[in-house]
Amino acid sequence: MPSCPRRLPLIIVVSIVLLSVSARGQSSDAARPFGTLREQAAAQQEWLKKRLDTFLPALMRKHGIDLWVVPMREYNEDPIFLAITAPETFAARRRTIYLFFDKCAASGAVPAPSCIERVALGGTSQGGVFDARRSTQAAAGDVGRGQQAELWGDEQWQVLKSAIEERQPRVIGMNRSTVFAFSDGLSSGELQGMSAGVGPAWTGKFRNAEALPLELLASRLPEEEAFFRRMQELVWSLTQEMFSSRQITPGTTRTSDLVWWWRQRVNDLGLGTWFQPSVSVQRKGMTQEQVGGDPIIQPGDVLHCDVGITVARLNTDTQHNAYVLRPGETDAPAGIRRALANANALQDIVMDEIRPNRSGNEILAASLKRMKEKGITGTVYSHPIGLHGHGAGPLIGLWDYQDGVAGRGDATVIPSMWYSIELQATTPVPEWDGQAVRMAQEEDAIIGADGHIRWALRRQDRLFLVK
């Protein structure tokens, strides 16, 4: 794996994937590392259409779903909402019922984009992605304009029933699951109303879709991968700036100062984060309790951060480490460098074990076995990432569960998904009188369409050094 330099200039990404700046738009600059919101939205809209065209036909056929029905109400959106709606859509419209129908399923024809009919009963076409259906009634008080009212109330369930009867599906997929939150977006009220509206003949064909929404949420495009790499470049530049003498004055700076520097810096760039960042300290001769929750950073400290950014509905998750040099030191002690190397070795093991069609629990068991054979003490708790920070797909352990995760760890890896390789290795350090140093790392990786995994950018194999 490539080594990371100890110091890099702040990387500001000045171009946006797929798009040049439109004549009416504003050019990207240092204050907008991913372009204007308009530019981002144009790219997201292209991703939306291509994602549905690329992944959905094969997934519906793979999981045996003829008609996938996804109803949701405003502010109680199904988790799949992020994967099927345009960037200008922030919430469901009153009630929107999204229908996906595989017209080719009965004939057994090869699944293709033309096979999938996409209909929105209520709401908009999402930029032309859906055939949007409105009411047959004129809007009240809208004299002379001829505008139709929106679908509303029980009328929507009757329109749904008619749509089902026209298509005569064999299997109707519902987003219900006792295991995966991503597959359990159908609320009890919507299920009750829909069941009453379509009647027992059709409710008898309801089946839990479960894996379908899970895998659609997890599936990522090559165009998104290119954008994601740019996000990683920015994250790396920010963690290196945070863990440097530009932001840290030993004996003065507290960890909370860095936490809020990160929040403010990300906000100033017009970006978001999906969790509160954290910065922690390990110190020779002291337990974590003795170090405290918001310590002043001192020479000789080992620093750790857990940070993320959100751009264009995509999320990163990164943990990096640093060492604060003592007077006369030019590098971290060898024992601390060895601790990082052990974490790198565990990363290599986990990356090697992640392959399509393997469950998270299988990957965890194989990784821990190899870890122990290598004489490393550690834990693995990796997770998918993408439209959600803790994304859809199989868990590879939890920090407090290393015997496998029932249900959520039984799902399998698929091609074209992203993973956050999160783990830690604990190593006794001779220079710290045998005190154990916990080197926690987290770096995002991409499983390509070919099933091979690679870092989204790179992994940290040298500590950042704070003078």
Domain with residue 241: its CATH number is 3.90.230.10
Question: Does residue 247 lie within any of the structural domains?
Answer: yes
Total structural domains within the chain: 2
Last residue of a domain, one of 216, 246, 264: 216
Domain assignment present for residue 339? The answer is yes
pLDDT at residue 251 greater than cutoff 90: yes
Q: Percent helix, strand and coil across the chain, each rounded to 5?
A: 30, 20, 45
Across the chain, what does the average pLDDT equal? 92
CATH of the domain at 69: 3.40.350
The answer to whether residues 375 and 356 belong to one domain is yes
Kindly state whether residue 205 falls inside one of the protein's structural domains.
yes
Residue 3 scores a pLDDT above 90: no
Contact 465, 241 (CB under 8 A): no
- Could you tell me if 161 and 131 lie in one domain? yes
pLDDT at 5 over 60: no
Kindly state whether residue 32 falls inside one of the protein's structural domains. Answer: no
The per-type count for the chain, helices as H runs and strands as E runs, is 12, 17
Q: Specify whether the CB–CB gap between 17 and 223 falls below 8 A.
A: yes
Cβ-Cβ contacts under 8 Å for 45 (sequence gap 6 or more): 86, 87, 127
Considering the domain architecture, whether residues 422 and 278 belong to the same structural domain is answered as yes
Residues 101, 199, single domain; the answer is yes
Q: What pLDDT, in 10s, does the model give residues 183-215?
A: 999 999 999 999 999 999 999 999 999 999 999
Same domain flag for 372 and 290: yes
pLDDT at residue 155, as a whole number: 85
Taking the C-alpha atoms of residue 263 and residue 258, their distance in angstroms, rounded to an integer, is 9
Q: Is 139 part of a structural domain of the chain?
A: yes
- Residues of the chain with pLDDT > 70, as a percent, come to 90
pLDDT at 33 over 70: yes
Rg of the chain in Å (alpha carbons): 25
The answer to whether residues 284 and 135 belong to one domain is no
pLDDT at 137: 63
Closest Cα to residue 168, out of 57, 70, 66? 66
| Nearest-5° Cα angle at 321, 315 to 324 | 140
Q: Are residues 280 and 133 in the same domain?
A: no
CA pair distance 51, 48, nearest whole angstrom: 5
- Is residue 92 assigned to a domain? yes
Average pLDDT of the segment spanning 119-125: 94
| Residue predicted with more confidence, 135 or 427 | 427
* Model confidence at 16: pLDDT above 70: no
Hey, what are 27's tokens?
Answer: 């050019």
Residue 285 lies in a domain: yes
Q: Which residue has better confidence, 145 or 265?
A: 265
| Separation in Å, CA 74 to CA 89, 93, 214 | 11, 6, 22
Give me the pLDDT at residue 2, please.
Answer: 41
337 is written with which tokens? 């460098």
Q: Pick the last residue of a domain from 216, 235, 269.
A: 216
User: Do 276 and 247 have their domain in common?
Assistant: yes
Residue 152, phi then psi, degrees to nearest 5? -150, 140
Cβ atoms of residues 306 and 277 within 8 Å: yes
Is residue 245 domain-shared with residue 209, that is, in the same domain?
A: no
* 131-133 vs 116-121, strand pairing mode: parallel
Find the domain containing 453 and state its range. 221-466
Task: Say if 79 falls within a structural domain.
Answer: yes
Residue 451 and residue 367 share a domain: yes
User: What pLDDT digit, counting tens, does each position of 342-387 carry?
Assistant: 999 999 999 999 999 999 999 999 999 999 999 999 999 999 999 9
* Encoded tokens for 173: 């997929």
Selected residue with higher pLDDT from 109 and 311: 311
93 and 208 assigned to the same domain = yes
Here the tokens at position 37 are 């919101």
Query: pTM (2 decimals)?
Result: 0.89
Considering the domain architecture, whether residues 461 and 384 belong to the same structural domain is answered as: yes
At 431-443, the pLDDT tens digits run 999 999 999 999 9
Q: Of 184, 199, 216, which one is at a domain's C-terminal end?
A: 216
Q: What pLDDT score does 301 carry?
A: 98
pLDDT of 154 reads 80
Alpha carbon distance, N-terminus to C-terminus of the chain: 26
Backbone angles phi and psi of 57, in degrees to 5: -55, -45
| 327 pLDDT higher than 50 | yes
Contacts of 10 (CB under 8 A, 6+ apart): 237, 238, 240, 241
* Each residue's pLDDT tens digit, 203-249: 999 999 999 999 999 999 999 999 999 999 999 999 999 999 999 99
pLDDT digits (tens, 9 = 90+) for 126-158: 999 999 987 666 666 555 555 666 777 788 999
